[in-house]
C-alpha cells in the first residue's frame, strides 16, 4: 500500500511525483482521511493505516509521524529536512523526534530524493536504517519544443515565490537587462515593490493547471532556478525536457539534478546571477550545448525509470 497525504489546494507536489509513478507500480494507493493538523487527526490517520493492513507500506512523505507506530515492511520517503530548519527550541526537538528519529528507527528502508537530502538526514543523527536515494521523476509530459531565442527581450521563467526560491536576488540581478520575467506563484507585496523599483517588465501567474505550466516553459527563452535550498529542484528537469537553457545554483541538490545540462551560479550573489543570465543571452553556442546536454540528462528521470527503482526496492523489502 502506498500512502498519500490528504488532498489540499496548497500542497500537491509530493502527490504529483507519485501519481506519475503509479501507472508503473503494482501497488494499491490510499489517501489519508485527515490533514496533518492536531493530535486527534494524526492519531486517526495512524489508526486508518493500522485498519488497512498491507504486506508493504510506503509513506510517500510529509506524514512521517505515521511510523511512530511500528508497522511491518515499511518504506518512508523523506524529501528534505526544510520543515525542521524552520523550527527552534522545544518545538524543533519534538518535531525531530516525531518526524525523523522515531519514524526512521521504525522504517525498514528510507528513501530520499537526492544525495544532498541523504547527507542532510544523516546529519540529524546516527541512524542505522538504510537510506537509499531514488530521484523524483519528471511529473509532466514535457516534450522538446524548439524555440528561436529572443536576445532582444528575453523571456525568463521563474518558478516559485517562497524565500528559498531566491526571487529577491533574481529581481535585483535583472536590473538593466531588457527582459520579461514570468513569475509562477503568489509573490508578497515586497516582491511587487521590488519589481517596480528595479523597472522589471513582468507577469505573475498563479493557480496554473498542468497544461498551463507546460505552456509557460514552452513560451519562455530560459529558465532561472537559482534557489538557495532544494531537496531536488523539479523545474530544472522540466526546463531541460522542454529544451530550454537553465540557469541554476551551485549549491544543495541542484548540481546533482542538473548534471552538465545547466549553467551554475552562486545563488547568494546578485552579481553572479546577473553574469549568468547575460552569458546565456549572449552566447548561442553555450545555450545550444546546455540544451543538448539537458535533453540527455532528463532521460534518467523518466517515470518508468524511477518506478523501476521503487519496484526493485519493494521486492527487496518483501523478500528480506
- pLDDT tens across the length of the chain (320 residues): 999 988 765 555 788 889 999 999 989 899 999 998 999 999 999 999 999 888 999 999 889 999 999 999 999 999 999 999 999 999 999 999 999 999 999 999 999 999 999 999 999 999 999 999 999 999 999 999 999 999 999 999 999 999 999 999 999 999 999 999 999 999 999 999 999 999 999 999 998 999 999 999 999 999 999 999 999 999 999 999 999 999 999 999 999 999 999 999 999 999 999 999 999 999 999 999 999 999 999 999 999 999 999 999 999 999 87
Please check whether residue 290 is in contact with residue 259, taking contact to mean a CB–CB distance below 8 angstroms: no
CATH topology agreement for domains 2-137+303-319 and 154-299: yes
Backbone angles phi, psi at 37, to 5 degrees: -140, 120
Contacts of 183 (CB under 8 A, 6+ apart): 158, 161, 167, 191, 202, 203, 204, 205
The model scores a pTM over 0.85: yes
∠ CA 160-136-204 to the nearest 5 degrees? Answer: 15
Assigned CATH topology for domain 154-299: Rossmann fold (3.40.50)
Cα–Cα distance, 293 to 300 (Å, whole number): 12
177 secondary structure, DSSP code = -
Please check whether residue 2 is in contact with residue 18, taking contact to mean a CB–CB distance below 8 angstroms: yes
Architecture of domain 2-137+303-319: 3-Layer(aba) Sandwich (3.40)
What does the pLDDT read at residue 14? Answer: 80
What does the pLDDT read at residue 314? Answer: 96
Q: For the chain, give every domain's residue range.
A: 2-137+303-319, 154-299
Cα dihedral: 256, 262, 267, 273 (round 10): 170
Other residues' Cβ atoms within 10 Å of the Cβ of residue 71: 19
∠ CA 291-148-222 to the nearest 5 degrees? Answer: 50
Amino acid at each position: 500500500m502506498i500512502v498519500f497525504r490528504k488532498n489540499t489546494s496548497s500542497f500537491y507536489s509530493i502527490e504529483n511525483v507519485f501519481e506519475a509513478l503509479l501507472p508503473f507500480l503494482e501497488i494499491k494507493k490510499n489517501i489519508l482521511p485527515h490533514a496533518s493538523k492536531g493530535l486527534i487527526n494524526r492519531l486517526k490517520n495512524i489508526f486508518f493505516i493500522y485498519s488497512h493492513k498491507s504486506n508493504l507500506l510506503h509513506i510517500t512523505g510529509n506524514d512521517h509521524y505515521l511510523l511512530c507506530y511500528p508497522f511491518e515492511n515499511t518504506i518512508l520517503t523523506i524529501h528534505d529536512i526544510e520543515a525542521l530548519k524552520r523550527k527552534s527550541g522545544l518545538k524543533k526537538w519534538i518535531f525531530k523526534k516525531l518526524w525523523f528519529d522515531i519514524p526512521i528507527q521504525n522504517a525498514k528502508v528510507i528513501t530520499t530524493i537526492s544525495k544532498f537530502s541523504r547527507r542532510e538526514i544523516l546529519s540529524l543523527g546516527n541512524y542505522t536504517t538504510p537510506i537509499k536515494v531514488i530521484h523524483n521523476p519528471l511529473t509532466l509530459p514535457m516534450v522538446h519544443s524548439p524555440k528561436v531565442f529572443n536576445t532582444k527581450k528575453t523571456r525568463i521563467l521563474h518558478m516559485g515565490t517562497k524565500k528559498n526560491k531566491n526571487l529577491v536576488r533574481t529581481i535585483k540581478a535583472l536590473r538593466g537587462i531588457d527582459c520579461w520575467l514570468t513569475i509562477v506563484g503568489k509573490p508578497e507585496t515586497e516582491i511587487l515593490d521590488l519589481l517596480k523599483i528595479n523597472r522589471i517588465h513582468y507577469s505573475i501567474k498563479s493557480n496554473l493547471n498542468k497544461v498551463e505550466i507546460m505552456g509557460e516553459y514552452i513560451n519562455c527563452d530560459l529558465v532561472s532556478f537559482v534557489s538557495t535550498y532544494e531537496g531536488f529542484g523539479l523545474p530544472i528537469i522540466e526546463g531541460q525536457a522542454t529544451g530550454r537553457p537553465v540557469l541554476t545554483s551551485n549549491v544543495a541538490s541542484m548540481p546533482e539534478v542538473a548534471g552538465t545540462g545547466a549553467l551554475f551560479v552562486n545563488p547568494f550573489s546578485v552579481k553572479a546571477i546577473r553574469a549568468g543570465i547575460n552569458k546565456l543571452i549572449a552566447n548561442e553556442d553555450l545555450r545550444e550545448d546546455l540544451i543538448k546536454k539537458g535533453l540527455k540528462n532528463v532521460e534518467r528521470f523518466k517515470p518508468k525509470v524511477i518506478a523501476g527503482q521503487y519496484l526493485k526496492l519493494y521486492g527487496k523489502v518483501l523478500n528480506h
